Copies of this chain bind each other. A is one copy, B any other.
Amino acid sequence: MKKSALQTARAAYRPKLPVVLTGAVKAVEGEPTQSVADQEAIRQLFPNTYGLPELRFEKNPSPTPGKPINVGVILSGGQAPGGHNVISGLFDGIKKINKNSRLYGFLMGPGGLVDHNYMELTPEIIDEYRNTGGFDIIGSGRTKLETKEQFDKGLEILKELDIKALVIIGGDDSNTNAAVLAEYYKNIGAGVQVIGCPKTIDGDLKNEVIETSFGFDTATKVYSEVIGNIQRDCNSAKKYWHFIKLMGRSASHIALECALQTQPNICIISEEVEAKNMTLQEVVNDIADVVAARAARGDNYGVVLVPEGLIEFIPAVKSLIAQLNDLLAANADEFAALATPAEQRAWVIAKLTPENAATYESLPEGVARQLTLDRDPHGNVQVSLIETEKLLSEMVGKRLAELRKEGKYNGKFSAQHHFFGYEGRCADPSNFDADYCYALGYNAACLIEAGVTGYMSSLRNLTKPSVQWVAGGIPVTMMMNMERRHGEMKPVIQKALVKLDGAPFLKFASKRDKWALETCYTYPGPIQYFGPAEVCDQPSKTLMYEHPEKKF
């Protein structure tokens, strides 16, 4: 593999471990824990792994020599910057325990465990991937580990390779499944520990005890770099409104963090739209009002950040989609028999409730039509195919035409569209993510040595320099509650949405009126690896506002 100059230089970076992890450690137990809700139900589902204590590592003044251990590792779900560092930290950690320890990577996600596709990760392979982005070292995949058959099939290969511990690097679902697997292996006495690591650029795997998931820091910095560049262009040419959609189907943490980094004119937060029970038209009208207010100042340009999941947070659209799914599933043949788009449209409108019909009619025709045509294999409307950024700008254009007729708008409106997602998921990790991920992996090795299972690797005090981070383990059951999924109540890790009373949102809310009208763009620029600490080592603003007492 031919490397770029930066790849070569960056390979030499040595992540800065928390001081406590630089020597031998012992696990100190806290009080027994409870799940965040539904304690009795969760306890019954996890009889062997419920109620475990939080663990905190401290220096061990009288360590005993460790025995070699074989460990397996899995990358699960979407890519996030730093995954390779979790693996290299884990590798170094188990080698520190005993130099004859071995690390096996299961290939292309959890499916590799079930299908027995794996490779041993040698020092040469590990060194090739230190401090790099991507999950290409062993690949990732979206197979869900959920069934007894999968667990048993996986156990075959774990036994064959004498693997005593499995580290699953994934988001909330993958860590939920890791906990179920841990409980199952514990219950049958399989002799395999399962440890999770919190991964997702979406930032929605966090709680009282997990300060952030890895990858969020780097991905939002890449998005903020290009948003900043677009803002500078916008402020130079002064002739376009840029609608920028940002990846993330559920929570709006990415959009919020990017807004705090770049100070755009508008940033929509899905959670707020839902809480205020706003219609799509109301969201559009709010944008149009800002466009008109800026036009009145002579500024016919601006930047709007749009979270990818917006559409699904709008109660009226959610209701429309639910009815469309039922309607089209129940009457597929009748619908298919209609000859023209116009007849199909009329048919749909006639069958919908008046509220849903009004929502349907408020959508641009192309989008409305797409909702009835492109459905997934389960027959569901494919909301992800809707180009929300174009939908919004088209509707804003129409609204502005109305405002113009009313004499309330006298400007020019020309839109550009962008969608950023794949641009950030595999970036080289920032120093924060490089350190955090390496420490998560190294710490996972310590949890393995401590002999525990059903824990998530945990580092806290993340707004302090990495050498001061607190290391330990959190029982995954502690983060769970019961939720309805596909019609069944399931134990799941609570997803963290943007809290409207949380510090990051309140900070944004206190500034946005000024940012809307005036032009207050900031330009974060590209991630830097070699410069001054205030440029290279800043954690995300979300993290800093959420943990101000530990301000960097």
- By a beta-carbon cutoff of 8 Å, the part of chain A in contact with chain B is 1-7, 9-10, 78-79, 108, 132-136, 139-140, 222, 225-226, 228-230, 232-238, 242, 261, 263, 416, 418, 422-428, 520, 522-532, 534-535, 538
- Evaluate contact between A525 and B233: CB separation under 8 angstroms: no
Q: Can you list 6 residue pairs at the A/B interface with Cβ under 8 Å?
A: A2-B522, A5-B538, A6-B523, A108-B238, A229-B424, A234-B422
CB-defined contacts of A529 to chain B, threshold 8 Å: 528, 531
CB-defined contacts of A426 to chain B, threshold 8 Å: 229-230, 232-233, 236
CB-defined contacts of A132 to chain B, threshold 8 Å: 232, 523
CA distance A236 to B82 in the complex (A): 13
CA distance A422 to B237 in the complex (A): 11
- Evaluate contact between B428 and A525: CB separation under 8 angstroms: yes
Q: Which of B236, B416, B530 contacts A528 (CB 8 A)?
A: B530
CA distance A530 to B531 in the complex (A): 5
- A134-B423 contact, Cβ under 8 Å, with A4-B523, A263-B2, A526-B526: no
CA distance A427 to B233 in the complex (A): 9
CB-defined contacts of A108 to chain B, threshold 8 Å: 238
- Evaluate contact between A229 and B427: CB separation under 8 angstroms: yes
CA distance A226 to B226 in the complex (A): 9
User: Which residue of chain B is the closest to A227 with respect to CB atoms?
Assistant: B423
- A425-B530 contact, Cβ under 8 Å, with A236-B136, A522-B7, A525-B10: no
- Evaluate contact between A133 and B422: CB separation under 8 angstroms: no
User: Which residue of chain B is the closest to A135 with respect to CB atoms?
Assistant: B236
- Evaluate contact between B229 and A425: CB separation under 8 angstroms: yes
- A79-B237 contact, Cβ under 8 Å, with A136-B232, A222-B229, A523-B133: yes
CA distance A24 to B552 in the complex (A): 47
CB-defined contacts of A232 to chain B, threshold 8 Å: 79, 132-134, 136, 426-427
Secondary structure call for the A interface = loop
- Evaluate contact between B530 and A140: CB separation under 8 angstroms: no
- Evaluate contact between A520 and B2: CB separation under 8 angstroms: yes
User: Which residue of chain B is the closest to A425 with respect to CB atoms?
Assistant: B233
CA distance A233 to B42 in the complex (A): 36
- Evaluate contact between B133 and A229: CB separation under 8 angstroms: yes
- Evaluate contact between A423 and B4: CB separation under 8 angstroms: no
Between A7, A426, A531, the greatest number of chain B beta carbons within 10 A of the residue's beta carbon is seen for A426
CA distance A261 to B7 in the complex (A): 12
CB distance from A194 to the nearest CB of B (A): 23
CA distance A10 to B535 in the complex (A): 10
CA distance A531 to B78 in the complex (A): 31
- A523-B229 contact, Cβ under 8 Å, with A6-B528, A418-B422: no
CB-defined contacts of A427 to chain B, threshold 8 Å: 229, 232, 525-526
CB distance from A78 to the nearest CB of B (A): 8
- Evaluate contact between B5 and A535: CB separation under 8 angstroms: yes
- A230-B525 contact, Cβ under 8 Å, with A140-B236, A236-B134: no
CB distance from A74 to the nearest CB of B (A): 14
- A535-B9 contact, Cβ under 8 Å, with A4-B524, A522-B4: yes
CB-defined contacts of A263 to chain B, threshold 8 Å: 2
CB distance from A4 to the nearest CB of B (A): 5
- Evaluate contact between B528 and A528: CB separation under 8 angstroms: yes
- Evaluate contact between B139 and A236: CB separation under 8 angstroms: yes
- A225-B134 contact, Cβ under 8 Å, with A237-B140, A531-B9: no
- Evaluate contact between B535 and A6: CB separation under 8 angstroms: yes
CB distance from A532 to the nearest CB of B (A): 6
CB distance from A105 to the nearest CB of B (A): 13
